[in-house]
Structure 1
Amino acid sequence: MRLLSETIIEDVFAFCPPSLVAFSSLLLSVLPQSTSSIAVPAVQNHFTSTHGPQILILGGGVAGVMAAEALHSRGIDNFKIIEARSTLGGRMKSFPFGAPGRQYVLELGADWIHGTQTNDGPSNPMFDLALKHNLSTQPNHYRGSMTTYDNTGAIDYMQTFNAAVEHFAALTVGGGDRILRGLVDTTTRSGYSLLGAKPRTPHEIASEYYQFDWEYAQTPEQSSWIASSWANNFTFNGDQGGFSTENLLTTDQRGFASIIQSEAAEFLSEEQVLLNSTVKTIKYSRDGVSVSLSDGSSLSADYALVTFSLGVLQHDDVLFEPALPRWKTEAIHGMAMGTYTKIYLQFPKKFWFDTEFALYADHERGWYPVWQSLDMDGFFPGSGILFVTVTGDFSARVESMSDDAVKEEVLGVLRSMYPNTTIPEPDAFYFPRWRSDPLYRGSYSNWPSSFLKAHHTNLRATVNGRLWFGGEATSLKYFGYLHGAYYEGQKMGEEIAYCVENNGCTGLPYAEEIPCSHPYIASDFM
């Protein structure tokens, strides 16, 4: 068990991200220049709540359930999960889609297991859960099953597409190299440019979009070169401790969240879960935490673990009393929340490509670019289901429009892709509005180039020794991924268990202020 006192070395450095290869040595090399701004909270004495559970877990997604399991494994069961929805799963959210008699359970949110296992290397914990609970999945060949289009119809620009694949591979290698050389971060756009990748044509732009925006839910201009590199390498690159390059798409008609629900059913009792309950206010002090719900009821506990999405924290959908300290809010608003929107259509019969994917190149970046067919062997043959994905700012645009307006734009793209085909009216059409939903406020986190390691330390840090934070956004190595939420939930559950077992603890450290390593001075402007 890693004790809280041992987390300080891991979490204190402010100026350089961790090495993809020499993680421990880099930590030690940067430690002296950054410890001056780190604050370690005073030890908080444990008290016994007389108002309910000892620990409140706010949010029943992957992080919340794994935190609960970690507590249970340590013999601590006096906790309660509070979840706004009617079921556990968080952003693993499925729904029945299709015309009557032709319905299928599809995923609105998380849909893939990203990386499985390479030989005897580490296995993705979500892959382990999928195997344990017999989840039906199908390998999705991101780069090996593709048809390309533009506004003139089908056109082969696979050479351009493959060049974009090579550019992205070079980008992630270059990002790792900057870590080893101790260089500052830049935007991914700068990284691409420094490597000579400067897309200008619609085909080049769409091909780059597929490699980057479609994965990170934001543009290269909005993203850290270094962090996007390690997020990719730690997940997909077996040589860097990653899982594998394989991506498994969920086809299970129980829904993807069934693996979390089945796992939870092994150790949770009915009394430990409060569903259909939205948190409105979190009051905290050095003595404990009190949570008010939308129905007017409240619960008090020694500790609370906040697993809400970064977007919810950014939108102030939950009120904190007192307001969170500035070091915490700076971290919350310093990271970014991306949006990934899948737009589903069902037609009477299939008329489109026979590959798994299609890429549409438009003069506007992100204009309904990535298409996936589910009407094929291994997925849902005969279903007539096709979906297109948009991301980032374009997702925000789509959410501001009516369903009919979006449908007309989508059908317009299909008419461009198939100019000699009469495109029928779909039998079913649906897309989620993640960004505007107060329970989510987006799909998953992304790391901007201005976001420092010390900011991330503060994002994870405990407030007053009582208020804890965990989720995919607080994962250094795996931000944006389900396995990041899994590991962070598990880790925070273990840390809180340590607090309970030791009658109090310091909590995770934070930096009161984050200094600039090369600050501007007055003479620069003279």
Structure 2
Amino acid sequence: MSLSRVTVGTVLLSLLAGTVAQGITSSQSLANFTQAGPPPNNTKVLILGGGMAGIIAARTLHEQGIDDFVVVDAKTEFGGRMIQKPFGLTGRQVVVENGPSWIKGTQDGDGNANPVWELAQKHNLSMVESDLYGSISFFDYTGPSNYSDAFDTSIDAFNNATVVAGRGVVENKVDLDLRSAYSYLGMAPTTPQEQACQYYQVDFPFLQSPSQTSWFASAWRHNFTYVPEAGGYSDVNMMSVDPRGFAFIVQAEAVDFMKTNQILYNETVSSIHYDENGVTVLTQGGYNLTAEHALVTFSVGVLQNTDVVFQPAFPDWKREAVNSIEMAGYNKIFLQFNDTFWFDTEMGLYADLQRGKYPVWQSLDHPDFFPGSGIISVTVTGDYSPYVEQLNTTQLQDEVMEVLRTMYPDAPDPADIHIAAWGSNTLYRGAYSNWGASFVPGHLQNLRANLDGHLWFAGEATSLKSFGLLQGAYLEGQRVGLEIANCINGGQCTVPPDTNIVNAQPYPSDLQVQ
């Protein structure tokens, strides 16, 4: 979804013909774009990043009668963090997803529909229902170990925490981290097995430990995803098994309304200059692009670093908002074996004495996924992610196999191994966002707020109800597309920041520094 680094130059987008053509042929769907004449380097709107938020924002502008825009992307195809990879030995390769695999929540009857689910159906994405909480086998540091009762208890504990959190939000109580909430409610896990079960409920979906995760925000994200009665979609998770990759739904959607002269591939942004008159974007390849408005869809991980220089620098309220949210780690490690020797359920949960050590396993050789592939994956999150990313392949394989051989002592060496390393990828610097405690609504408002009425922001991190999820990116792209269109058509342009954040929670006067 984003960009980086610095070079200066002034050229016309008409010089991009070779780059655009190369990008189009890199994806099956992009081959269908209609050729059009080259635009100048000045446009009404620059959309920086061709992930879910960027493409839906572009589509929304198009629907509002605004087609004077260009989407700039650092890769050679759209999709953002939806990145597929052919994995495995020759003759046994399948397309695995480095990023999102699941559509979380679909639609209950004729109720509220997840827009990503609708998009996937529109473009005939191959999907299967995934039973993440019912098809699971259990292991610990001694080998196979049935602690399914503890797992059921952990589900009840998390559900209970969401109910109490809902009351807390209504009563305007102070947020806590989930670790404190579990202790407060008398549900704190004590054994490694209970810790692993809690990990599956908290760390696996939110990417960080309970002590790093907002109680209130995690509760409403869960409810607005899975609970129709609370405004959510459904309790169904659909997993992509499409050989074109999950990103196909974004690429195919773009084909419906975009032309080649609206695309600039293979360009990373180095700096963004903005004021009350407009925006100038400089790219690593030497392009100087000017626009009346620019939409930034970079991850908060990029915004928190120095990959892109903003001139002027963010005001204090924007910088505080950017750094109030976490860009968390999520690493899938794929292994392929000549034979399948593991559990016949979809998922496996491993409880180690060290919390978070290669805990969540998924059999991609399952009959519903990629039968015969010989592939199993394991996921780590949070503080364990930067650790595994700095291991070399041999070290990583040794560590993973140590755990797998605890589960299955006779496990052979894998024929192939691959890790999706998000934290070290300078285009993203993490997998997706998570709100820590205590959540302050004003920080989200300031994360969303534009600068000088011309520099706009959107992505999964700016979604109140669906941060960290694809539907969050979709809905935020739609929201900001409408806001920019309204501004262009003579409406309000400036989204004012929350200047009262420091007073969001009153403190006793004797704690105030004089």
TM value normalised by structure 2? 0.91
Does residue 375 of the first structure (1) align with residue 365 of the second (2)?
yes
Cα distance per residue 1:205-255 (max 9 Å; x no partner)? 001000110000001100110011000000111110100010011100000
Q: What is the Cα-based RMSD across aligned positions, in Å? A: 1.4
1:118 aligned residue = 108
Q: Is the 8 A contact 2:217 2:439 kept in 1?
A: no
Tell me how far apart the structure 2 counterparts of residues 169 and 417 of structure 1 sit (CA, whole Å): 29
**2:501 is the alignment partner of 1:514:** yes
Q: CA deviation at 1:190?
A: 1.1
Residues 1:253 and 2:243 are matched in the alignment:
yes
Question: Of 203, 210, 220, which aligns to 1:213?
Answer: 203
CA deviations on 1:69-96 (whole Å, 9 max, x unpaired) are: 0000011000000000110000001010
Aligned to 2:298: 308
Structure 2 residue aligned with 1:334: 324
2:418 maps to which of 430, 439, 457: 430
In structure 1, C-alpha distance between the alignment counterparts of 2:69 and 2:285, rounded to whole Å: 20
Aligned twin of 1:102: 92
SS in 2 for 1:60: coil
Would you say 1:470 and 2:455 are equivalent positions? no
**1:334, 1:450 within 8 Å by CA — same for their partners in 2?**
no
1:489 equivalent to 2:477? Answer yes
Residue type of the alignment partner of 1:515: V
Please give the alpha-carbon distance, in whole angstroms, between the structure 2 residues aligned to 1:486 and 1:247: 17
1:509 maps to amino acid: P
- CA displacement, residues 45-87 of structure 1 (integer Å, 9 cap, x when unaligned): xxxx984211000000000000000000011000000000110
Relative distance call for 1:102 and 1:202 in structure 2 (3 A) is same
Give yes or no for contact 1:327–1:513 (8 Å, CA) kept in 2. no
**CA offset digits 1:377-425 (Å, max 9, x no partner):** 1111111000000001101111121121111100000110113x2x212
Partners of 2:407 and 2:184 in 1: how far apart? 34
CA distance in 2, matches of 1:406, 1:456: 37
Shift of 1:523: 6.7
Q: Distance in 2 between matches of 1:195 and 1:522?
A: 30
Amino acid at match of 1:431: I
2:152 aligned partner:
162
Q: Distance in 1 between matches of 2:140 and 2:282?
A: 52
5 Å-filtered alignment, 1:3-42, equals: none
Distance 2:105 2:272 in 1: 36
- Name the residue aligned to 1:244: 234
Q: Distance in 2 between matches of 1:75 and 1:131?
A: 26
Mapped to 1, the partners of 2:321 and 2:282 lie a distance apart of 25
SS at match of 1:345: strand
- Does the aligned pair in 2 maintain the 1:121–1:241 contact within 8 Å? no
TM-score, with normalisation over the residues of structure 1?
A: 0.89
Which consecutive residues of structure 1, in runs of 5 or more, have no partner in the other structure?
A: 1-48
Q: Is 1:349 matched with 2:336? A: no
Query: 2: distance between equivalents of 1:279 and 1:343?
Result: 30
Residue 417, structure 1, aligned to residue 407, structure 2? yes
User: What letter corresponds to residue 185 of structure 1 in structure 2?
Assistant: D
Match runs of 1:52-63 below 5 Å: 52-63=42-53
Deviation at 1:499, TM superposition (A): 0.9
Corresponding position: 1:67 with 2:82: no
Cα drift, residue 301 of structure 1: 0.3
Runs of 4+ residues deviating >3 angstroms: 522-526
Superposition map of 1:126-141 within 5 A? 126-141=116-131
Matched position secondary structure for 2:298: coil
**Could you say which residue in structure 1 is the equivalent of 2:35?**
none
Q: Secondary structure at the match of 1:364?
A: coil
Unaligned runs of 5+ in 2: 1-38
What residue number does 2:137 align with?
Answer: 147
Report SS of the residue matched to 2:43: coil
AA aligned to 2:463 is S
| 8 Å contact from structure 2 (residues 483, 493) kept in 1 | no
Partner of residue 290 from structure 1, selected from 280, 291, 297: 280
Match of 2:438 among 450, 458, 465: 450
Partner in structure 1 of residue 189 of structure 2: 199
SS at the partner of 2:453? Answer: coil
Q: Deviations over 1:267-298 (max 9, x none)?
A: 01001011101001000010000000001221
- Structure 1 Cα separation of the partners of residues 156 and 510 of structure 2: 44
